[in-house]
Amino acid sequence: MSLGRRDFLKGLVACGTLAVMQRPAWASVGVMSPAVRPGESPLLLRTGTLVDQEFFGAVQAVLGSVGVAAAERLQLDRSDLARPQNLQRGLQSARGRCVVGVIEGAHAPLLFELLRSAGVAVPCAGEHSDAGPIADGASRHRLLTTPASYGIAALLQRGVPAALVEEHALGVATVPVPTTVPRDQPTGHWAAVTGHLLARVAVGTWKPSPPLARRPGLPPTDDQPTRHYASFVLQLPA
Amino acid sequence: MSSPYLALPQGVSAEQFGRAIAEFRTILGEEHVITDAAVLAPYTKIMLPVADAQHAPSAAILPQDVEQIQRIVAVCNRYRVPVWPISTGRNLGYGSAAPATPGQVVLDLRRMNRILEVDPELCTALVEPGVTYQQLYDYIQERNLPLWLSCPAPSAIAGPLGNTVDRGVGYTPYGEHFLFSCGMEVVLADGQVLRTGMGSIPNSNTWQVFKWGYGPSLDGIFTQSNYGIVTKLGMWLMPAPPAYKPFVVRYPQRTDIERIVETIRPLRIAMIIPNAVVIAGVLWEAGVFVRRSDYYQGAGQIDEAAVARIMKEHDLGYWNVYAALYGTPEQIEVNWKIVEGAFKASGGEILTENEVGHSPVFRYRADLMRGNMNLQEFGLYNWRGGGGSLWFAPVSQSRGSETLKQMEMAQRILKKHGLDYVGEFIVGWRDMHHIIDVLFDRTDPVQMQSAYACFDELLAEFTAAGYGNYRTNTAFMDKVANTYGPVKRDVDRRLKRALDPNGIIAPGKSGIHI
């Protein structure tokens, strides 16, 4: 495996300067401005998973609703996800941009290792399991959220009632409790609901709400999900 | 009550922590002190069967040199803020980059990434914590130096300093990494800088050639510990041999493990086979490229019929022994006759590059046994999916009866908890590292509980049988420390109190607290 040392070092220390963060008055655990800069669309990381159609269909719908016609695709394919130098090149090419994506779960450990090394911000990430391409009942989800994305797990749970959803909300923050049920509650396949919610985090139209409370006595599952995925919104440093 | 921070160190108020953060910012600059939740998120990723919050950091700070670290520890002492040092942080399955206890500040040493020296005549190197194996490999290739590395399975993205200080292993004749290290530089909790071995002599040029120095040899106490922050490591590098012959020997039955080990032991002790031999179980071998769900959809441990199908369809042994010979072609020819004769007598099927050189699985092992970068082992996360991985790593004698006993114990306990035996043995000189990857789905609350209970039971039973773990993950560090008894824990604590009385360096690492 050959790798230009200069490129490799650039990839590893890419976080030389982080983007300046805006802090809305109500949030108290470090908050990002919308991951996407005005006038810019997020890059989409598509690697041919079985849920691409549902996920990216929903992402595009949200982008369309805020006036973004067609999002660019980050130039990485499935085989790149197993090669650190290709991943690093992909991340380099997306400096200063927001990325929304879903990948097969097995690729997530390596990806997140390189994200950490590059100082990439992750406003939201999910781990998902389901029993196949069309089963949206027997699905399970763990969402990692930050102040920019608190509460999306509750909407995922409402949108896919038969799913098992947990939220790990980083930090403790005081967030306003919404007084009305959101009008645009997405429903349907978990990948579509997740894509919708992550896209809203990316473009800044998500209003954080209380993280999903942990349900005691979670029922045992007989279903054996066989497919695993990871979803995310990323903000790469400039 | 809200706080501006994700978590706080135990016993430290938000105000106190805020003052410490402000001082870190003065030392390092705003951009190298991370408290933003989204930027900290990757530091919180764990593969353990516990809540993420149990290992959540409060912040991450990134120094670039020893002087900054000295100023950092002064701040830590002032405010009693603990730091959790990581080099590259690739302790996957052992806790990744997250601290042992919540609220610690991750001291991320990745900016300290200089290769300080490589001496091709003495075959030594001196590196900083942020240097990766890929970086060192490229350095050697660019200069056409006749030197080989020894790396663990995360290879390219892991770092020699971090892996050695955690006593990790590789697969070449230099695979016992701590054994082949020579000299450290350590920043102590009081800010003093210690160079071990011959490094304490001013202007020493023997720091990387003679391990022991004078008086008590201290390198060991800075491995798998929290007694200091290692900022430089000396390494011995293997001279590139004129020839290299990797091979695999396959065995069809589970119980063959006994005669495999009896065959290998004398060859290893006599150094006829000089490298750390891997005896990979079928599920480990297959798991890097096969999904469990393609062969078995049941809830319990995968059954023997499914395992047999995997073996047949992918042409794998139940055990797959990887080893290599190194030296001149003449030396290899002589040793090959001995090795081939021994393995044939044991009933194994011997295959070389001629027969299986095209196989990606063979190539992955052949790469690691010569210190080339290869990340194929990440494919293991595809076996079960769901992101859960815990390494259970007991040690045994290099005796067939012992390895059979350990394997059967492990399989029984894993089966009880509905988990698969994904294991291999790494053969040292007289010891075996038995490495079992407890793979589970973190999205399944039942599997989370099962994986934790399984590890607990493995630990209890193996300890009762006299087997200790050589390394463990951050969720089990106190429990594993307990298995080594009260005297060891007391000595560890007394050293900790002497060297770090305020407990500012990695509290909880290896179960060591003040």
**Cα(B105)–Cα(B101) distance, integer angstroms:** 10
Q: How far is B373 from chain A (nearest CA, A)?
A: 7
Q: Per-residue confidence at A38, pLDDT binned at 50, 70, 90?
A: low
Residue B264 parent element (H or E):
helix B257-269
- Listed in sequence order, the residues at least 6 apart from A122 whose beta carbon sits closer than 8 Å to its beta carbon are A112, A115, A144, A146, A232, A233, A234, A235, B38, B39, B41, B42
Evaluate the CA torsion angle B279, B281, B282, B287 in order and state its sign: negative
Give residue B514's identity as a one-letter amino acid code: I
Give the global pTM.
0.92
In the predicted structure, residue B452 carries a pLDDT above the cut 60: yes
DSSP SS3 for B362: helix
Identify all chain A residues contacting B93, using CB atoms and an 8 Å cutoff.
none
Residue B125 pLDDT class (50, 70, 90 cuts): very high
- Check pLDDT > 90 for residue B321: yes
pLDDT band with cut points at 50, 70 and 90 for residue B430: very high
CA pair distance A171, A84, nearest whole angstrom: 30
CB B402 within 8 A of CB B396: yes
- Which of A3, A21, A228 shows the shortest C-beta gap to B138? A3
* Burial bucket for residue B363 (CB in 10 Å: 0-12, 13-18, 19+): middle
Cα dihedral B338, B341, B345, B349 in deg (nearest 10): 120
Query: Is B470 considered catalytic here?
Result: yes
Of B338, B360, B175, B148, nearest to B243 by C-alpha is B148
Helix (H, G, I), strand (E, B) or coil at B129: coil
Q: Read off the pLDDT of each residue in A221-236 and give the average, rounded to a whole number.
A: 82
Alpha-carbon distance B383 to A104, whole Å?
A: 12
Integer Cα distance of B63 and B83 in angstroms = 12
Q: What chain B residue is nearest to A14 in terms of C-alpha separation?
A: B111
8 A C-beta contact, residue B280 and residue B320 = yes
The pLDDT of residue A207 is: 83
Q: Phi, psi at residue A125, to the nearest 5°?
A: -150, 150
Pick A120's closest partner by Cβ from B42, B373, B374.
B42
**What's the mean pLDDT in B397-406?**
97
Q: Which residues in chain A are closer than 8 Å to B446, comparing Cβ atoms?
A: 218, 220-221
List pLDDT tens digits, range B217-235: 999 999 999 999 999 999 9
Complex ipTM over 0.85: yes
pLDDT tens profile A42-77? 899 999 999 999 999 999 999 998 888 778 888 787
The answer to whether residue A175 scores a pLDDT higher than 80 is: no
* Of residues A13, A123, A127, nearest to B38 (C-beta): A123
Report d(CA B83, CA B108) in Å as an integer. Answer: 9
Instruction: Enter the DSSP assignment of B417.
Output: T
Give the active site residue among B309, B470, B484, B489.
Answer: B470
Pair A124, A201: CB distance under 8 Å: yes
Torsion angle, alpha carbons of B155, B159, B160, B162, to 10: -130
pLDDT higher than 50, residue B66 = yes
Measured between beta carbons, which residues in chain B are less than 8 angstroms from residue A174? 2
Q: Which fold does the domain B115-239 belong to in CATH?
A: 3.30.465
Q: Residue B178 corresponds to which amino acid?
A: F
Answer CATH for B243-464 from 3.40.50.150, 3.40.190.80, 3.40.190.10, 3.40.462.10: 3.40.462.10
Across the interface, whether the CB atoms of A172 and B3 are under 8 A apart is answered yes
pLDDT tens for each residue of B479-499: 999 999 999 999 999 999 999
Q: In chain B, what residues touch A226 (CB-CB under 8 Å)?
A: 291, 293, 297, 385
Residue with structure tokens 């967030």?
Answer: A175
pLDDT at position A83 is: 82
Mean pLDDT, range B256-279, rounded to an integer: 97
Q: For residue A34, is pLDDT > 60?
A: no
How high is the pLDDT of residue A37? 67
pLDDT beyond 50 at A7: no
Beta strands (DSSP E) in B57-200 are 59-61, 83-86, 105-108, 115-119, 124-127, 147-148, 181-187, 193-195
CATH 3.30.43.10 fits B14-111, yes or no: yes
pLDDT at A214 over 80: no
Q: Which of B43, B79, B94, B251 is catalytic?
A: B94
Percentage of chain A surpassing pLDDT 70? Answer: 70
Asked if B110 and A5 come within 8 Å (Cβ–Cβ), the reply is no
Q: How far is CA B1 from CA A149, A227, B16, in A?
A: 20, 40, 16
